[in-house]
Amino acid sequence: MSNNNNGNGRQLTRAFMAHVKLKDLNSALVGLIVSVRDLEARISEIGMTGAQVKVAFTDMFPPAVLFSEELMSMHAMYANICDWLNLKVAALKPHSSRRILMTLAHSLYEDDEDQLLQLRLCAASCSRTSIYKL
């Protein structure tokens, strides 16, 4: 997501994954993108800290949803999610494997049950795909 000044001192913000044509995606991907865009609007309206953004994101997308096979079909989305969350000051900690999926899994989910589930889902997802650095 990029910000540009419109000349009036106000920041114009491009919507999350604005370059993607929603009509070309499956319903799970469309749902994720539209939900993140809705979250962006809430952040703008009420203001949220990075920690609040992280909590709102994980409430919307538990591990079973974020790492589902339906979403795994769009690999670039995970890099966009990392970039977007970091832009919102969610302070994701890079995983030692340097894989984006593992960074998301370890940085977002703090509940023990969620951590176990996300690790299993990520391991399965990583083994099913040959995604570079995901």
Mean pLDDT confidence for 13-39: 89
């370890």: which residue's tokens? 106
CA 78 to chain centroid: 6
Q: Give residue 68's pLDDT.
A: 84
- Domain layout of the chain by residue ranges: 3-128
Residue 132 has pLDDT above 50, yes or no: no
With a cut of 80, say whether residue 121 has pLDDT above it: no
Distances (CA, A) of 113 to 18, 84, 116: 33, 25, 5
Report pTM. Answer: 0.74
CA within 13 Å, CB half, 105 = 29
Q: Which amino acid is at 96?
A: S
Q: What's the mean pLDDT when you consider all of the chain?
A: 77
Express each pLDDT in 35-61 by its tens digit: 999 999 999 899 888 889 999 999 999
Residue partners of 39: CB distance under 8 A and separation at least 6: 53, 56, 57, 60
Separation CA 38–CA 16 (nearest Å) = 10
Q: For the chain, how many helices (H) and strands (E)?
A: 7, 2
